[in-house]
């Protein structure tokens, strides 16, 4: 797959490079994707935002992208190639591109880099992410209220802070409405592998889970849940509304478009500066997909209320008292978590079972 996208990418680059001479030097924005643009989830939304950038600026911008770029050493080559082809700003849209992005940024000081969900910055590297854990709180609330077996399955991808935050947030809010709730967490070690994701969903369902939360990118777990029946799921990264009203009862939607437009504009104006952005429901970077009719009215009302509180900043999903898994105190009564601890979160909260693999 990588080779195909490389070739396709190279062809696009060649075409756009040719076009660049014909025009009044438009800004060139490059995008590196971890999955295919048709994954129906994470990459699909990033690509939607890329199209929004094109729509917004018309001829003043050119975009190029490369899909299914493996995380790790290979990514460095792909990013380098994009920088060499004359991109002015490059969005690298997965956590695993962090070190490659920093490495390439050192070699191309004039190119601006935007790395999603990471924490390493430089003069020409910004980071941006969304507070998905706010959406996870709402999912946890609905999941805890609706589960009948009290077993909630969670398909996790890689043990990185963002994923752990999501698990903790969902668990705390499920526990709040349902003290008997238990989480089964499966680490899939992939962002995108429909067959494996479906297998993971089935394994969880066979082990008694009747709610499946996923932090992987494809819609395969939704299909597996639908097949099993009596299982509810939530759209991840994208609305996945084709599985509504059941099994998909709601979703977390990533909306990157305003941010991408903003940053490309900054490059055009020459005002681009390295920054660290972490937006949530309030700014609209995290959207909550329509809560379907399969959710009881009162639960839906509570979920919307929670959403309103999160949006207004009145409520923080990590508000003490919260203990770590080992029982030690993390947050005192009324204390809220700082962004710094959240960004480096590497522990489960009290009540979750199992260890985080390393």
Partner 1 sequence: MDLSSISPVLLIASVMVSATPILLAAIGEMVVEKSGVLNLGVEGMMITGAVVGFAVAVNADAPVPGFMAAALASALLALVFGVLTQLFLSNQVATGLGLTLFGLGLSALIGKPYEGMKSPTLPRLDLGPLSDLPVFGRMLFSHDAMVYLSLLLVLAVWAFLKFTRAGLILRAVGESHDAAHALGYKVVRVRLVAIAFGGACAGLGGAYLSLVRVPQWTEGMTAGAGWIALAIVVFASWRAGRVAIGAYLFGGVTVLQLNLQAAGAAVPVALLSASPYLITILVLVIISARGAHGAPASLGRPFHASA
> Which of residues 67 and 76 has its CB atom nearest to partner 1 in the complex?
67
Residue 326 interacts with partner 1 (CB under 8 A): yes or no: no
Q: Which of 230, 336, 338, 353 binds partner 1 (CB under 8 A)?
A: 353
> Whole-number minimum distance, CB 255 to partner 1, in Å?
19
- Kind and range of the H or E run holding 140: helix 132-146
23 vs 353, beta carbon nearer partner 1: 353
Residue 245: HSE in the Cβ half-sphere, 13 Å Cα cutoff: 6
What DSSP element (H or E) covers 86? none
Contact code string over 233-252 relative to partner 1, x by CB under 8 A: ---------x----------
Given a contact cutoff of 8 angstroms between Cβ atoms, the answer to whether 107 and 80 are in contact is yes
Contacts of 217 (CB under 8 A, 6+ apart): 34, 35, 39, 40, 41, 42, 43, 191, 192, 236, 237
Select the residue interacting with partner 1 from 37, 181, 213, 286 (CB under 8 A).
Answer: 37
Q: How many CB atoms lie within 10 A of CB 180?
A: 10
| Pick from 45, 36, 42, 82: nearest CA to 62 | 82
Binding map of partner 1 across residues 48-87, x = CB under 8 A, - = no contact: --------------------x-------------------
CB of 67 to partner 1, least distance (A): 8
Residues 6+ apart with CB under 8 A from 3: none
**Choices 112-120, 124-132, 169-177, 217-225; region in contact with partner 1 by CB under 8 A:** 217-225
Q: Which is nearer to partner 1, 57 or 183 (CB)?
A: 183
DSSP symbols for 263-296: HHHHHHHT-----EEEE-TTTTSEEEEPPPTTS-
The nearest distance, CB 341 to partner 1, in angstroms, is: 25
> Is residue 148 part of the contact set for partner 1 (CB under 8 A)?
no
133 or 191, CB closer to partner 1? 191
Q: Which of 219, 224, 130, 210 is nearest to 169 (CA)?
A: 130
Q: Specify the stretch interacting with partner 1 by CB under 8 A; choose among 30-38, 51-59, 73-81, 126-134.
A: 30-38
Restricting to residues 195-214, which ones interact with partner 1 according to CB under 8 A? 195-196, 198-200, 202-204, 206-209
What is the sign, positive or negative, of the torsion defined by CA atoms of 290, 294, 295, 298? Answer: positive
Given 227, 276, 293, 339, the residue binding partner 1 (CB under 8 A): 227
Pick from 188, 211, 295, 310 the residue near partner 1 by CB under 8 A. 188
By CB under 8 A, tell whether 32 contacts partner 1.
no
Return the structure tokens found at 202: 């089935």
* Rg of the Cα atoms in the chain: 21
* Closest separation in Å from C-beta 194 to partner 1: 4
Is the separation of the CB atoms in 287 and 255 below 8 Å?
Answer: yes
Cβ atoms of residues 252 and 135 within 8 Å: yes
Point out which span in 47-55, 136-144, 188-196, 330-338 binds partner 1 (CB under 8 A): 188-196
335-351 core/surface letters (b: 16 or more CB in 10 A; e: else):
eebeeeebbebebbbbb
Q: 26 or 221: whose CB is closer to partner 1? A: 221
Distances (CA, A) of 126 to 73, 74, 84, 120, 344: 20, 21, 19, 8, 17
Q: In what order do the strands lie in the sheet with 61-66?
A: 61-66, 27-32, 89-92, 112-116, 125-130, 276-279
Exactly one of 64, 163, 223, 232 binds partner 1 (CB under 8 A); that residue is 223
Stretch that binds partner 1, among 127-135, 181-189, 261-269, 332-340 (CB under 8 A): 181-189
Binding site for partner 1 (CB under 8 A): 1, 3-4, 7-8, 35-40, 68, 153, 184-190, 192-196, 198-200, 202-204, 206-209, 218-220, 223-224, 226-227, 242, 353-355, 357
């Amino acid at each position: 797959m990588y080779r195909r996208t490389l070739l396709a990418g190279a062809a696009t680059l060649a075409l756009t490079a040719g076009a660049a001479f014909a025009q009044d030097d438009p800004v060139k924005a490059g995008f590196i994707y971890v999955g295919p643009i048709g994954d129906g989830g994470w990459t699909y939304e990033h690509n939607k935002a890329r199209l929004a950038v094109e729509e917004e600026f018309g001829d003043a911008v050119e975009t190029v992208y490369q899909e299914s770029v493996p995380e790790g050493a290979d990514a460095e080559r792909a990013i380098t190639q994009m920088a060499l082809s004359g991109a002015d700003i490059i969005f690298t849209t997965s956590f695993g591109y962090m070190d490659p992005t920093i490495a390439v940024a050192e070699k191309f000081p004039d190119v601006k880099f935007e790395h999603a969900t990471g924490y390493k910055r430089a003069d020409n590297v910004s980071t941006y992410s969304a507070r998905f854990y706010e959406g996870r709180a709402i999912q946890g609330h609905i999941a805890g209220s609706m589960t009948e077996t009290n077993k909630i399955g969670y398909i996790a991808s890689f043990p990185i802070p963002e994923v752990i935050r999501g698990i903790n947030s969902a668990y705390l809010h499920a526990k709040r409405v349902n003290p008997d709730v238990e989480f089964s967490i499966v680490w899939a070690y992939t962002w995108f592998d429909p067959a494996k994701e479906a297998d993971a969903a089935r394994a969880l369902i066979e082990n008694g889970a009747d709610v499946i939360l996923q932090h992987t990118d494809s819609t395969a777990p939704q299909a597996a849940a639908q097949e099993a029946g009596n299982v509810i799921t939530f759209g991840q990264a994208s609305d996945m509304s084709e599985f509504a009203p059941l099994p998909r009862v709601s979703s977390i939607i990533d909306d990157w478009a305003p941010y991408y437009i903003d940053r490309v504009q900054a490059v055009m104006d020459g005002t681009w500066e390295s920054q660290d952005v972490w937006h949530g429901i309030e700014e609209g970077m995290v959207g909550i997909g329509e809560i379907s009719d399969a959710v009881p009215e009162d639960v839906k009302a509570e979920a919307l209320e929670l959403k309103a509180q999160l949006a207004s900043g009145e409520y923080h999903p990590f508000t003490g008292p919260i203990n770590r898994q080992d029982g030690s105190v993390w947050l005192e009564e009324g204390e809220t978590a700082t962004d710094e601890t959240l960004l480096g979160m590497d522990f489960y909260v009290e009540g979750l079972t199992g260890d985080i693999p390393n």
